[in-house]
Amino acid sequence: MKTNTSIIKILMAITLLSANAAIAVVSIELVPVGNPGNTADTNGYGAVAYNYNIGKYEVTVGQYVDFLNYKEIDKSTPLLISIDAMAANHIELDTTVNPFIFRTPSEYINNPVTYITFWNACRFVNWLGNGQADGDTETGTYTLNGYNGTAGAQIGRSAGAIWFIPDFNEWYKAAYYAGSTDGGYFAEPASSIYGTLDQYGNGWEWSDSVVSVAAADGRILGGGYGPLDASVPVDFKGTSLGDPSKSSGPSLPWGFNIPVDDGGFGFRVASSPQTLDKVDYADFAVLAAAWLSSEGDANWNPICNLAAPNDIIDTADLTAFAANWLTLSNQ
């Protein structure tokens, strides 16, 4: 049973959405990745025993800005993004309003966010899993508690995590697996059978696999606009930078020190299967858009009329919505 506190929190969020459209809930477009138990590619990668979802796109500048506006406590000295990263992503701090707010021009909202450290990518994922808004960034899928060091092997994905950064096999399968028809793998991820986009370009992407326990290097995947090291050729098949000894075929991913926020480093998120079916912030955004509307209004949405018979989308509908918060929609 949902408490009045749950309803009050959702009401407060609706008020926030109405008062300041610059801060919004983050909705991640996911695609399901099936074919559990598939065989690995000839290089040993890509086998995943379970179903999962993965972001159709990389996390965008606009989504990260919304995250910053909720969780960056001292916006004048940000910890969740560097000053260089703000400049590279065209993110500005608007000090003409109180409280200060991060903004980005509309033409950059859908660009992939880059210059993001692995740890801050983990914080974004924790925030998603903890309900966004004032959700915690330091615990959840990854237990960080303020950590920003190099001992990456000590911090792994929690068992049963709902939201996570894809590991190498999860990322590789979504990009290259050709399906059950021939059990093979594509040479390029441009033809993903699951519908992902931009795994072949846009930016380098973190995975939560660790290349070297000793060095705590994180795996970088995908393809940016150019190699990170001009002395090493690019090989896009499941890699970031190609191994010169294997430049004609698949090779291992490149490891980079986890706290690094190089210009090409972004990320996409993945999730357990039930996130596509849960009553969550994506549904809440639909309810908020129809708030206080009645039939005949431009923003009227009959799907939100949860407390029928009722002639207005109001607290009666919100109460019904809150009663199903984070439950599976097919239960």
* 317 in Cβ contact with 301 (< 8 Å): no
Looking at the structure, do residues 180 and 302 belong to the same domain, yes or no?
A: no
Interval 257-310: pLDDT, tens:
565 566 678 899 999 987 666 677 777 878 888 888 888 888 888 778 887 667
Looking at the structure, do residues 54 and 203 belong to the same domain, yes or no?
A: yes
Is residue 7 predicted with pLDDT exceeding 60?
no
Per the structure, the count of domains in the chain is 2
Neighbours of 233 (CB within 10 A): 15
Residue in the block written with tokens 């896009």: 236
Q: Which residue has the higher pLDDT, 160 or 6?
A: 160
Per cent of the chain over pLDDT 90 is: 27
Interval 45-64: pLDDT, tens:
889 999 999 999 999 999 99
pLDDT band at 237 (very low <50, low <70, confident <90, very high): very low
The answer to the question of residue 89 being in a domain is no
Looking at the structure, do residues 143 and 183 belong to the same domain, yes or no?
A: yes
Residues in a beta bridge with 200: none
Looking at the structure, do residues 194 and 301 belong to the same domain, yes or no?
A: no
Neighbours of 21 (CB within 10 A): 8
Those residues whose C-beta lies under 8 Å from the C-beta of residue 311, and which sit 6 or more positions away, are 294, 295
Looking at the structure, do residues 186 and 149 belong to the same domain, yes or no?
A: yes
Is residue 239 predicted with pLDDT exceeding 60?
no
Q: Which residue has the higher pLDDT, 234 or 52?
A: 52
Looking at the structure, do residues 239 and 329 belong to the same domain, yes or no?
A: no
pLDDT band at 181 (very low <50, low <70, confident <90, very high): low
CA gap 82, 216 in Å, rounded: 21
Q: What is the DSSP string of 117-150?
A: -HHHHHHHHHHHHTTSTT--SSSSSS--TT--SS
Looking at the structure, do residues 310 and 267 belong to the same domain, yes or no?
A: no
Q: Is the dihedral of CA 243, 33, 285, 328 positive or negative?
A: negative
Looking at the structure, do residues 138 and 242 belong to the same domain, yes or no?
A: yes
Is residue 175 predicted with pLDDT exceeding 80?
yes
The answer to the question of residue 52 being in a domain is yes
Q: What is the DSSP string of 271-289?
A: E-GGGGTB--HHHHHHHHH
Q: Look up the pTM and report it.
A: 0.72
The answer to the question of residue 70 being in a domain is no
The answer to the question of residue 270 being in a domain is yes
pLDDT for the residue 318: 85
Looking at the structure, do residues 206 and 268 belong to the same domain, yes or no?
A: yes
The answer to the question of residue 104 being in a domain is no
Looking at the structure, do residues 285 and 143 belong to the same domain, yes or no?
A: no
Q: How many alpha carbons lie under 13 Å from residue 204 in its C-beta half-sphere?
A: 29
The answer to the question of residue 80 being in a domain is no
CA angle 305, 309, 313 (to 5 degrees): 35
pLDDT for the residue 278: 64
Is residue 120 predicted with pLDDT exceeding 60?
yes
Looking at the structure, do residues 201 and 294 belong to the same domain, yes or no?
A: no
Helix axis angle, 118-129 to 61-71, nearest 10°: 70
Domain that holds residue 243: 34-59+112-276
The answer to the question of residue 295 being in a domain is yes
* 317 in Cβ contact with 310 (< 8 Å): yes
Q: What is the mean pLDDT of the chain?
A: 75
Interval 12-30: pLDDT, tens:
454 444 443 334 468 888 9
The answer to the question of residue 65 being in a domain is no
* 238 in Cβ contact with 253 (< 8 Å): yes
What tokens were used for 139?
């615990």
Interval 211-227: pLDDT, tens:
654 455 566 666 554 44
| Sequence-ordered strand ranges (E) for the chain | 30-33, 52-55, 92-94, 101-103, 163-164, 204-212, 217-222, 254-257, 265-266, 270-271
pLDDT for the residue 196: 92
Looking at the structure, do residues 15 and 51 belong to the same domain, yes or no?
A: no
